[in-house]
Amino acid sequence: MSCIFCKIVSGDIPSKKIYEDENILVIEDINPQALIHVLIITKEHIKSANHLTKENIDVIGKMFLAAKVVAKQMNIDESGYRLINNCGTDGGQSVNHLHIHLLGGEKLGENLR
């Protein structure tokens, strides 16, 4: 197992857990790009959004529900937050394991670069 997120999910690599259920793990990002920056990770190894299938598509809904729970827990559900999924190298995906970035806690700019 060479996937860093799989190692985090299994407990082989320590992380700051924010939320966990049977399908999802949410951890603090080690290189935050906002006051609040967490990663919503699938426990099942799915390489990217391009690797979703009919059998595992329900995990996307579970990721968004986890985002809702975490946003409320971090008191940004009312003020707002951003969810980002990078897919593939040109899309900015640096870890080949499906995950969503949740950013908030401050006014975020509109620029994507």
Tell me if residue 45 is catalytic. no
Catalytic hit among 37, 51, 97, 99:
99
Question: ∠ at Cα 101 (98, 105), nearest 5°?
Answer: 165
DSSP the chain: ---HHHHHHHTSS---EEEE-SSEEEEE-SS-SSSEEEEEEESS----GGG--TTTTHHHHHHHHHHHHHHHHTT-TTT-EEEE---STTTT--SSS-EEEEEESSPPPS---
Which residues are known to be catalytic? 99
